[in-house]
Structure 1
């Protein structure tokens, strides 16, 4: 299932993560000095309630063969819209981005607003990317054959605001909007052929209205220690709403969190996404992302329907350090009735956590899939 080289990489990554989190070498600056540097960047591990938004910024370099040398940055903001409201969770803004020497850039953000003693919740998530990437085609057979891999540059904008109202204890209903625009520029000959034969073509705009049902008892959304969440999201896309195609998607997610000790949390997540209608190629369900099925290149496996499960153990070490380990599996199909009948793919990995702000982690994950690996740098937990 996993090759020797892949297992070796996973073991080495585990050792490196442990070494980074436990090293006490004299040549390194002590923690008090690092805390001082981080405080200058807004990285105090105590919330400053006197500020409207308690900001923190953490930059760092990176290199990939596709994008060359670059710099990444994580930005975290914590705030309370109403300082007299001690019922609602602390609101948060998490942002991770990068820019590289090849002109590639990307920006991902999540914003959680808890209002009127948690009577209202306003959430916004979004992505802005201009990055080299690959397309394999639709379905399991297309994704497993690396000969189908074709390069293009994705110029993408995606935003999803939603407003939820509490109808009873921990139960919310609401409406949202999903707008997505993607242009596949500079495609290889094979990619251009794929897009010409796919719904939507090279340039796709999708716009839809979403209905939300949510039951949520998590104590802190970006990094829950206990509680559970069950969510159903139905989205209807149509030309009348500003998109190119008429189709719909339904997402189901159930997550639960168990605090095993003061420093350990066991988290479990189930996720399913179903789509029907004239679904564009970029709106098919993806098996592989920074949130689930880590270890697979995002977009390699895509189809009409997917189902995934993952179990993650999170452990806080001393100071700001933490580690995680997870196992997961997922499947995809062009029909809901065939989902799970075959083609189950594995996911396993380890991760390092650095608590930049109170309970707001910058995460670095290394995931391993079937003949595939992936690194992920994000703000907040995967789920």
Structure 2
């Protein structure tokens, strides 16, 4: 990945398109090649509104895996309306460790996943900083076991090898952030109460889900920002397919843990991040996270810890758009090596 020779700084109107190549490697997917783009802009007739943006990533790997992600976030005049759209199509292998907070690394089974996903959300400001709206999620997943050695040991029930489901949610949001991309001051509280109706024969799952996300930021002095984030995700139904369960570990929270390393009906995690923007174009960060999954009750001994640091490059100084370079490692679990993760992506973890 390279840094643009001519950084983009948007003031008013539409900004230029920022593009970078994508290069990476994972044990299951092989070497990854592709491109990512990002564009800040303001919707027509916007007055005192936050900048909107769209971003997209497309890549393929040496082992014939595919990955496409498109995301857009839009703010209307005076920030009175907010909506976003998230579209994905992925044909990618991943390691499945089982369900629970005590799964072992040596129990990993390699699965092939084909995912098609669209998520649309819209909310209106009812009072100052308080929004209410609706969310719609439609997703289809199909799995196959790629691990020929452990094919007969797979713990995935046959009726969970594929599923198509619809999720309808009521969204509430309180947002005082000074900037949505790299926040220095303000809070963000998000609550979604959602329902999965019976949708198709290949997935008879019905149930409810709660998603909560809270972020708080404070700059005690110029250039220094303290950030705190807590997430909670829980299913209200007794049984949910493994591919729908909340997963601990990704590039946004509990960095360092492999995504899906632990999964269960309930997830709770929080993280603290310190950011120091020592010059206009660059910032450094340090972070620590703590979280767990559980089928019912929380136990202190089940919480895991990860920590790390990183570098931020501001390719759009005015809108505070960043490329993020993070390195994270996990606590040492008995009988296992520490897990580590390197993340190069557009935008902040939270």
1:379 aligns with 2:332: no
Residues 73 and 93 (structure 1), Cα distance of their counterparts in 2 relative to 1, 3 Å cut: same
1:156 aligns with 2:115: yes
Q: Which of 175, 179, 183 pairs up with 1:220? A: 179
Residue matched to 2:144: 185
Deviations 1:52-96 (A, max 9, x none): x531101143334433333243311111112x3222101111334
Partner SS state of residue 243, structure 2: helix
Shift in Å at residue 141 of structure 1? 2.0
Instruction: Give the 5 Å matches for 1:231-246.
Output: 231-240=190-199, 244=203, 245-246=205-206
Equivalences for residues 59-208 of structure 1 within 5 A: 59-82=21-44, 84-142=45-103, 145-188=104-147, 190=150, 193-194=153-154, 196-197=156-157, 200-208=159-167
1:280 aligns with 2:241: yes
CA contact (8 A) 1:218 1:229 kept: yes
Specify every segment of 5 or more residues in structure 1 that has no aligned partner in the other structure, as ranges. 1-33
CA contact (8 A) 1:208 1:243 kept: no
Distance, in Å, in 1 between the alignment partners of 2:38 and 2:202 is 32
8 Å CA contact retained: 2:175, 2:187 = yes
Counterpart of 1:47 in structure 2 is 10
Shift of 1:373: 1.3
Instruction: Flag the 1:157–1:315 CA change in 2: closer, same or farther, 3 A.
Output: farther
Residues 124, 229 of structure 1: alpha-carbon distance in 2 compared, 3 angstrom cutoff? same
Contact between 1:76 and 1:95, CA under 8 Å: does it hold in 2? Answer: yes
Shift of 1:301: 0.3
Tell which has more relative contact order, 1 or 2 (C-alpha 8 A, sep 6+). Answer: 1
Pair 71,361 (structure 1): closer, same or farther in 2 beyond 3 Å: same
SS in 2 for 1:350: strand
Aligned twin of 2:217: 257
Q: Deviations over 1:11-66 (max 9, x none)?
A: xxxxxxxxxxxxxxxxxxxxxxx99x533xxx32x116454x53110114333443
- TM-score calculated relative to the size of structure 2: 0.89
1:257-292 per-position Cα deviation (integer Å, ceiling 9, x unaligned): 111333221110011111132411111011111110
What TM-score results when the alignment is normalised by the length of structure 1?
A: 0.82
| 1:168–1:369 distance in 2 versus 1, CA, 3 Å | same
RMSD of equivalent CA atoms: 2.2
